[in-house]
Amino acid sequence: MKNIRSWWWLCGLLTVWACQKAPDQPAAPSEDARLTGKTVSVADFPAGIRKVFVLNEGSLGSNNATLDFLRLSDGMYITGAFRQMNPDAGAGLGDVGNDIAVHGDEVWMVINNSGIVEVLSAADETELAAIPVPTPRNIAFDDRYAYVTSWAGAFTTGSYDENGRYILTDYANPKGRLYRIDLQTRAIAGQVEVGYQPEGVTVYDGKIYVANSGGLSSQIPPDYAYDRTVSVIDAATFRVTGTIPVAVNLKSAFSDGKGRLYFTTLGNFYDVHSALYVLEADQPERVSKVTDYISVAAILGDTVYCVGTESEFDWSGAPRSYRALTVQNGAARKMTLQLNAIQPYSLAVLDAQTLLVGDAGDYFNPGSVHCLRNGTVSWTVTAGVCPGHFACW
């Protein structure tokens, strides 16, 4: 059981997520069986996965985040499932879907610019709860709580009254926060201040690791500087117990379940490149860089899969060539992945042979999801605008 839980801890990662074979469970009859979409080949997909959810971010201010899923029982790729299964939710899923994770039989989605953490039934995509959190970014779980990083907690300190309204008490502090949501009551059960504009979050061995980006701080007075730290929070006391300097502009956080924590950074877009860093949970001061050039990354078990390009600071629009790596026990190995004509925007690893790559296209019109089997593209479907996040059930 502990083992299964630790897999759930991994769920809440950024752009990316990965899936792990769960024990076979009997398929329950589902209300969403009537939904149909494009049929794709799911032969030899890992057993134990019933659905792969795809959260399409949409564009900021356009209220067009959408939820797709791939149903493995019949190989249907279904788009716009949230609206179809929740016809009374007039406003749809909301504005900018920033993260998705499965916990038990629930799908948790972080709707960034709507300020909502949305909880759905994984079986039929019907809404179970919509929890207000200011500018939420990413999510991770332990066995009692969901942990959600938040920017806007960033600029405001406040609490929710009995009607669910947000009451402000202070707004002078530009740091971000980590919110804790009780999995039983689905209500906020505390918050703690972390670094500037926290992004990725992961849980390992009773500690929560938050990657602070400083993405906004770098653009505004007085400091115009990125954050470069990981905040460590003790899950039992929900207090920050340590701050680990890593590198500028942190993004994703992963735990390999064996004591190693991986963090990706975006760099500063000028002279510091994106990179992957690793540290040991019991020697957090010893941070080392694994590799440069990480555009997207995902974890499966103890292995981080990364795709990146050396020409990431080339703004000319020339086609880029991407390279793929797997990282295990802190060591990188090359991986053959045919990414011709694909601009990877997101990545999910179902097993070592089966990868899903999201391609945002022109970022304005619906993008696509490519399935790579043994390194080559096996099929491609049209998704929503900016297919950015995956989760398996």
Q: Which of residues 173-192 bind other proteins (CB under 8 A)?
A: 174
- Using the Cα atoms of residue 366, residue 357, residue 344 and residue 201 in order, give the sign of their dihedral: positive
Binders in 327-366 for other proteins, by CB under 8 A: 345, 360-366
Select from 86, 135, 212, 354 the one that contacts other proteins (CB under 8 A): 135
d(CA 344, CA 281): 30
DSSP state, residue 105: T
Nearer to other proteins, 46 or 200 (CB): 200
Residue 379 near other proteins by CB under 8 A: no
Residue 215 near other proteins by CB under 8 A: yes
d(CA 199, CA 249): 9
Residue 12 near other proteins by CB under 8 A: no
Select from 113, 191, 202, 231 the one that contacts other proteins (CB under 8 A): 113
Nearer to other proteins, 130 or 230 (CB): 130
User: Among 2-10, 201-209, 284-292, 379-387, which window interacts with other proteins (CB under 8 A)?
Assistant: 379-387
Minimum Å gap between C-beta 219 and other proteins is 3
User: Among 5-13, 89-97, 120-128, 184-192, which window interacts with other proteins (CB under 8 A)?
Assistant: 89-97
Minimum Å gap between C-beta 32 and other proteins is 19
d(CA 150, CA 176): 6
Q: Amino acid letter at 21?
A: K
Select from 21, 76, 84, 166 the one that contacts other proteins (CB under 8 A): 166
Binders in 279-308 for other proteins, by CB under 8 A: 295, 308
Binders in 218-237 for other proteins, by CB under 8 A: 218-221, 224
- Contact yes or no for 274/295 (Cβ under 8 A): yes
Task: For residue 53, give every residue at least 6 positions away whose Cβ sits within 8 Å of its Cβ, in sequence order, or none.
Answer: 67, 68, 69, 100, 102, 107, 122, 390, 391, 392, 393
Nearer to other proteins, 202 or 295 (CB): 295
d(CA 145, CA 201): 13
Number of residues that bind other proteins (CB under 8 A): 71
Select from 67, 154, 211, 355 the one that contacts other proteins (CB under 8 A): 154
- Per DSSP, the three-state class of 258 is coil
- Contact yes or no for 312/273 (Cβ under 8 A): yes
Closest CA to 359 of 385, 338, 334, 337: 385
Please state the separation of Cα 106 from the chain's center in Å: 16
